[in-house]
Amino acid sequence: MIIVTGGAGFIGSNIVKTLNEQGRTDIIVVDDLSDGKQFYNISDCDIADYLDKDDFLQRVQLDDGLLDDVEVIFHEGACSSTTEWNGKFMMENNYEYSKTLLHACLEKGIAFLYASSASVYGGSDVFKEERRFEKPLNVYGYSKWQFDQYVRQLQLSYPNNAFPSQVVGFRYFNVYGPREQHKGSMSSVAFHFNNQLKDNGICKLFGGSGGYGDGEQRRDFVFVGDVVKVNLWFWQNPTQSGIFNLGTGNCQSFNDVADAVIKWHGEKGLQGSKSYTPFPEHLKGAYQSFTEADISALRAAGYTDAFANVEQGVFAYLDWLNA
């Protein structure tokens, strides 16, 4: 049996769909469907059961046998809003919940693969899995970083500083792709550019800031299909544990994303262009103009597959989104 928390969310539902394509349907999806629209993400997936996130946590704490036949937990469930400032809620939902699942997995020998975030780097300009580069800027980033720290400290308490079963954290960079539409304003720029171009023919970008030209702020944009591949590769390589950046290792500009969206639609006969709005004053000093994953640790662990660049990923995404 496989458990995917946040399984009706963006990355989680892509993991479920890919597992289905590999012939696995013995999957329990755990989520919070208070926003009922999220069910769309798994309506084309085959699963064994669905559990509400609170009911699941209670059953794990009671140790009622739910986890007895589980091979792996892909823990993608979290409040992922970077604009949520309720720290008590964020720490209960993201930090304490994750600790409970981690300990349950270690007790039962279940592989535990969890979502961390590149937001742990916050104000840093170096994106490498080392404490000195980690400076979260919001409470979401802090909740993810503090769990990474907990994992690091807990690992030191085991013989030879090694967990008895697999524990892997993935610091996701700017993930985009299918099944993110429920995220609204938190959806990727590729999603928003696609809608803007279809609505009025114009992709709207920020003007220059922080020494970067119009639309030239840069991010490590990583296609969700690649994120799923990395998750499943680690599960199939259980001797590999640790905390890993999950980006492409190559940053690209917001202009690159808009250009890819415009090119895709242009090939379908819909012409588009770009426009730039002055960079918002309230974001100055609180906006990352550059992110790029150092993926040397990921490569050293043995993952060798290439990552899609922006044009490849955006084209695959828009093929799905506009089908």
Which residues on neighbouring strands pair with residue 175, listed in sequence order?
A: 222
Side-chain-facing half-sphere of 292: CA atoms under 13 Å: 12
The span from the CA of 186 to the CA of 38, in Å, is 14
Q: How far apart are CA 306 and CA 250, in angstroms?
A: 11
For the chain, the farthest-separated pair of C-alpha atoms sits apart, in whole angstroms, at 62
Q: Is 172 a catalytic residue?
A: no
SS3 assignment, position 68: coil
CB 16, CB 4: distance < 8 Å: yes
Q: Which residue among the candidates 99, 128, 135, 183 is catalytic per the annotation?
A: 183
Distances (CA, A) of 191 to 163, 177, 183: 39, 8, 10
The phi-psi region of residue 170 (left if phi > 0; otherwise alpha if psi is between -120 and 50; otherwise beta) is: beta
Active site residue 183: yes
Q: Residue type for 173, please?
A: F
User: What 8-state DSSP symbol labels residue 130?
Assistant: S
Task: Give SS3 for 278.
Answer: coil
Cα 283 from chain centre: 23
From 97, 114, 140, 172, active-site residue: 140
Q: Which residues are catalytic?
A: 140, 183
